[in-house]
């Protein structure tokens, strides 16, 4: 008896090389995906699932179609994740066709760059840092959606209310100070990784936050003879800005806190020690800390308890 030859099993399309795309018609959800990628720069598929509130399997399949049609990119720097982490969530960025769509649909003034080349040359440390920023901002966006009494204020929202000189400044968020670190006065500056505010509309109260996404690569302190940056120096600049009320003069805001998501609880303990030294020994509720694992496990970042440099538990909401 003869049998018909078996057809070869369909092969999976390559993860990081566009292959044989079937043309697609963009839907409203697709446009929203592009907007999220433009806003955050890099997002994991799990971030997008949370932001879009769509079934993971269907959304991931759609992201594949958007990738192979060049609307979104998969940065190649994540390649080594799959050698060590198996099925780690894919990281996405805006692609050239996606940028063109947003320029057309939303009238966005896109920089004249090759987005695919920009994404391809992004190194893994840069992407990992951007993803740490996205971890917090995505969690905030999702949490605020559930609340009718809170509005999330973006960096642009805050700058739009700032004095005119700051709105036209080349780098308005750069905070400079001459601070004492390890007993030596040095010129130092810090640019927050993210800036946002929470408008508690029912209470007519706003709180503002500068965010530091800590990958654990920068020492918390250095020897007094070192000119290289340590995390303690960032804390000193923020403390100086707070004491001098630079936030009110520069940005027109009455308060701020500094959030840090650190790699581990042990590193947080070192940061709190550094904050106590910067503040003269007492610590301060200006500085709030949590670790990456706690943030990842939190179902509501507004209810998450952050540890202050005074050793107190503080929530954002």
Strands 43-44 and 175-181: unpaired
Q: Is residue 292 part of a domain?
A: yes
User: What pLDDT shows up at residue 52?
Assistant: 96
Confidence band of 43 (pLDDT split at 50, 70, 90): very high
2 pLDDT band (50/70/90 cuts)? Answer: very low
Helix or strand or coil: residue 314? Answer: strand
Strand, coil or helix: what is 3? coil
Specify the CATH number for the domain of residue 94.
1.10.10.10
pLDDT score at 10:
45
User: Do residue 158 and residue 298 come from a single domain?
Assistant: yes
Query: How much is the mean pLDDT over the chain?
Result: 89
DSSP, collapsed to helix, strand or coil, labels residue 258 as strand
Percent of the chain with pLDDT over 70: 90
3 within domain boundaries: no
The last residue of a domain, from among 58, 88, 122: 122
pTM (2 decimals)? 0.88
Contact 163, 169 (CB under 8 A): no
Both 200 and 113 in one domain: the answer is no
Helices (H) then strands (E): counts for the chain: 13, 12
Six-digit token string for 32: 């929203």
Same domain, 156 and 67: no
H or E element: which one contains 150? strand 150-153
Identify the band that residue 286 occupies on the pLDDT scale cut at 50, 70 and 90: very high
Do 192 and 297 fall within a single domain? Answer: yes
Tell me, yes or no, whether 196 and 50 share the same domain. Answer: no
Q: Is the pLDDT of residue 281 over 80?
A: yes
Residue 92: HSE in the Cβ half-sphere, 13 Å Cα cutoff: 31
pLDDT value of residue 61:
94
Q: Give the CA-trace dihedral at 229, 195, 158, 147, to 10 degrees.
A: -160
Provide the number of structural domains found in the chain.
2
Structural domain boundaries enclosing 239? 143-314
Q: Rounded to whole angstroms, how far apart are CA atoms 100 and 109?
A: 10
**Residues 281, 154 within the same domain:** yes
Q: Which of 19-23, 27-31, 245-249 has the lowest mean pLDDT?
A: 19-23
Q: Quick one: 168 and 294 in the same domain?
A: yes
DSSP structure string for 81-135: HHHHSSSPPPEEEE-HHHHHHHHHHT-----SS-HHHHHHT--HHHHHHHHHHHH
């Amino acid at each position: 008896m003869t049998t018909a030859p078996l057809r070869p099993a369909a092969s999976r399309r390559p993860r990081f090389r566009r292959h044989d795309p079937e043309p697609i018609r963009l839907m409203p959800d697709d446009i929203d995906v592009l907007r999220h990628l433009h806003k955050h720069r890099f997002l994991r598929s799990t971030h997008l699932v949370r932001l879009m509130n769509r079934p993971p399997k269907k959304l991931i399949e759609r992201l594949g179609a958007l990738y192979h049609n060049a609307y979104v990119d998969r940065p190649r720097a994540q390649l080594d994740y799959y050698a060590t982490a198996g099925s780690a969530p894919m990281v996405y960025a805006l692609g050239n066709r996606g940028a063109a769509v947003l320029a057309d649909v939303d009238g966005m003034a896109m920089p004249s760059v090759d987005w695919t080349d920009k994404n391809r040359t992004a190194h893994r440390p840069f992407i990992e840092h951007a993803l740490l920023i996205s971890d917090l901002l995505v969690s905030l966006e999702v949490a605020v959606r559930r609340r009718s009494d809170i509005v999330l204020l973006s960096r642009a929202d805050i700058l739009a209310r700032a004095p005119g000189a700051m709105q036209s400044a080349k780098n308005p968020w750069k905070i400079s100070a001459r601070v004492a670190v390890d007993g030596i006065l040095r010129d130092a500056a810090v640019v927050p990784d993210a800036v946002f505010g929470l408008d508690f509309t029912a209470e007519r109260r706003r709180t503002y936050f500068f965010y530091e996404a800590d990958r654990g690569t920068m020492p918390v302190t250095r020897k007094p003879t070192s000119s290289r940056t340590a995390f303690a120096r960032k804390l000193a600049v923020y403390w100086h800005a707070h004491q001098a009320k630079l936030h009110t003069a520069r940005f027109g805001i009455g308060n701020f806190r500094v959030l840090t998501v650190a790699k581990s609880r042990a590193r947080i303990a070192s940061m709190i020690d550094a904050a106590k030294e910067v503040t003269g020994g007492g610590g301060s509720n200006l500085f709030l800390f949590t670790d990456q694992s706690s943030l990842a496990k939190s179902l509501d970042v507004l209810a998450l308890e952050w540890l202050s440099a005074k050793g107190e538990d503080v929530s954002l909401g």
